[in-house]
Structure 1
Amino acid sequence: MLRDANPRELDQIVVENVLAFDAGFWVRLAARIDLCKSDDDKKDYEELAENVMNIVDRLIHKTDQKIEQSTDVLKAIISPAMHEGDVKWPPRDPDTIKLMEKEISRREQEGQLDEGFLSEVSAQLRQAKQDGDKPGLQAMLQKVLQLYASRSIQKRSYAYKDVKDYTSISFLSTFSLFSGGQVVVPEKFLESIVQAPENEWNKVLLDGLTVGKGDVAPDDLYTVINKRIERVVIRTEGGSYQQRVLVEYLKEIQTRAEEVVKVLQGPTI
């Protein structure tokens, strides 16, 4: 297949199967060249090997450039929390998070918060967890992903929907009149949590849930969280870092809500 492909097809084949061009592939190709019975066949395979190698080299170069660019973007975002090369977390300056949010917004508008960026943040976060000696760095990278997820999820509001879309939610806590229309109260509540800083989630949950001071039943909140997760899965590429980050963020909200509910309800007998 490689030998018969034209330059454009060869480029596409290599890109789509780049992981297949490992040491074993080159050994097999070298053996094939040695077994050639004619000089023409040998020359064809040698040219094929050179072309494939050039394509792989270009891919590696582009990947290196992308990693470097993603690293620069991350450095710019976390720079407000850096002091003389060291991470200061939690930040003492209350404006640090706002500056990070501002930079995330700017980088997003420039189209730089892509899979490469999320991959870089996730890789550094995994390394920080493995090292175990830099809790500040770990918390800061988690904050970067939280800020990204919060901004991404806020782009779509589902607070205004038909009753039929929420048959599993108790009716009394679902709808209220707002500006002549109907508001899905649990969805609106979820969006208020997403909009709030993570360190204020407990207060928002306390004020909004029926086990606290609010009108939203915990099960209704869990229902809209799961529905939002389903929407994320549908709208994002399966297995992508974007999907993973957004889903984990929503699950983090549910976990926090469950913890708050458990504390407020007290021990069960």
Structure 2
Amino acid sequence: MAKWLATPFPPVNICFFDSTSHRSPCFLYRRLNNGMLGGKKFTSLNFMEWKRRRTLIYAVNQDAERAFKKTVEVDRLIDMLRDANDQELQTLVVENVLAFNESFWIRLAARTETCKSEDDKKDYEELASLLMSIVDRLVHKTNEKIESATDVLKAILRPVVDEKEETPWPPRDPEALILMERELNQREQEGQLDEGFLAEVNAQLRQAKEDGDKPGLEAMLRKVLQLYASRVLSKRSYAKKGNEVLTAEQFLEDVIKAPEAEWNKLLIDGLTLGKGEISPEDLYAVINKRVERTLIRTEGGSYQQRILTEYLKGIQSRAEEIVQVLEGGTR
């Protein structure tokens, strides 16, 4: 008895007897296989080529599927990082430090470039800058003890603190304030001014108020919070809309960046009641808009949210005082 086996298309012939016989099932099967399939001669060479192409297509599909899954994973991480608060962000970076490779930064850059609004684009740019700082700090601090919030605050205050006697305020040496601001900016750039740091400053400030006998310390702690708020708020500009410069927004940003001691002069020179072109109503409007943006972009109830909004409201309160004085002078 003849034994033969034929698999469904694509055909593979396995014959266990002499295939020269015209009565052989293998012979008949080969005749079918060598016939016209779809109008095209199907030979063993055609089959090998088809099989090779199918293997290549399968490999390409597998690579594409892996790349897609990787992109989904990176996008999920980016979304988590974008929505995290300061403390969560630090934790996420530590837990996913190996994920911050070339593919991650390329994907983050691609998402930044495809943003539909300038606000979203700036959010991603700020996130990228902060992540780079945290990762860089993490790499350099791997074998070192990361400083506590108290250590960071001490380092910032060191230029203005007099360890031998009661600390005067303002400092006798103007250079001390410059050094203090420089240290704060460096620490902020390294991602060290997080919620833990802000909580420490607030705790120290509350204690100084309760003690009531350290006005110099209380003043310098307030200065730390002012410098922090000024730096964070100055990172984002709303003064340009296309090629147009929004004068009220630009004026507010100038005040935000300036030391508190210079606010009075800036407001007098900039408001219409003084020497400028910005009406009080326009200034109040952009301040309120900036407060709303800050509330949206910071965690509800966080120290950061409170400090930034209080700083903006402080500018408005000062502007209202100046307006009252100028209106009194014009009556």
Aligning the two structures, in what range does the TM-score lie when normalised by the shorter sequence? 0.5 to 0.7
> Partner residue of 1:131?
211
Residue 183 of structure 1 corresponds to 245
Which structure carries more relative contact order (alpha carbon 8 Å, separation 6+)?
A: 1
Q: Post-superposition shift, 1:196? A: 1.1
**1:110 Cα deviation after fit:** 1.6
The secondary structure found in structure 1 opposite 2:244 is strand
Offset at 1:88? 2.3
Partner residue in 2 for 1:76: 155
CA displacement, residues 176-217 of structure 1 (integer Å, 9 cap, x when unaligned): xxxxx2111110000000111110000000110001000000
Q: Matches of 2:300 and 2:293 in 1, distance apart?
A: 12
After superposition, the C-alpha distances for 1:69-96 in whole angstroms (9 at most, x for unaligned) are: 1001000101111112542211111112
Q: What residue is the counterpart of 1:237 in the other structure?
A: 299
Distance 1:109 1:267 in 2: 44
Deviations, residues 34-71 of structure 1 (Å, cap 9, x unaligned): xxxxxxxxxxxxxxxxxxxxxxxxxxxxxxx99x7100
- TM-score of the superposition, structure 2-length normalised? 0.54
Q: Distance in 1 between matches of 2:244 and 2:168?
A: 45
Which structure 1 segments of 5+ residues have no match? 1-64, 163-180
Equivalent residue letter for 1:232: T
Aligned match of 1:247 in 309, 312, 320? 309
Deviation at 1:105, TM superposition (A): 1.1
AA partner of residue 236 (structure 1): T
Instruction: Choose which of 260, 263, 268 in structure 1 pairs with 2:325.
Output: 263
Identity of aligned residues (%): 67
Q: Which has the larger radius of gyration?
A: 2
Q: CA deviation at 1:268?
A: 9.8
> Is 1:141 aligned to 2:203, yes or no?
no
- In structure 1, give the amino acid aligned to 2:151: D
**Amino acid in the other structure paired with 2:278:** V
Q: 1:108 aligns with which of 188, 197, 207?
A: 188
The equivalent of 1:10 in structure 2 is none
Partner Cα distance (2:246, 2:206) in 1: 37
- Select which of 280, 289, 292 maps to 1:218: 280
Q: Give the paired residue count.
A: 186
The answer for unaligned runs of 5 or more in structure 2 is 1-144
The amino acid across from 1:250 in the alignment is: L
CA distance in 2, matches of 1:195, 1:267: 28
1:267 offset after TM fit, Å? Answer: 7.5
Q: Distance in 2 between matches of 1:184 and 1:136?
A: 39
What does 1:47-86 correspond to in 2, within 5 Å? Answer: 69-85=148-164, 86=166
In the TM superposition, structure 1's runs of 4+ consecutive aligned residues that sit over 4 Å from their partners are none
Tell me which amino acid in the other structure corresponds to 1:102: R
Deviation at 1:161, TM superposition (A): 2.9
Give the distance between the partners of 1:71 and 1:83, measured in 2 at CA.
17
TM-score (normalised: structure 1): 0.66
**Residue of 66, 69, 88 corresponding to 2:168:** 88
The secondary structure found in structure 1 opposite 2:240 is coil
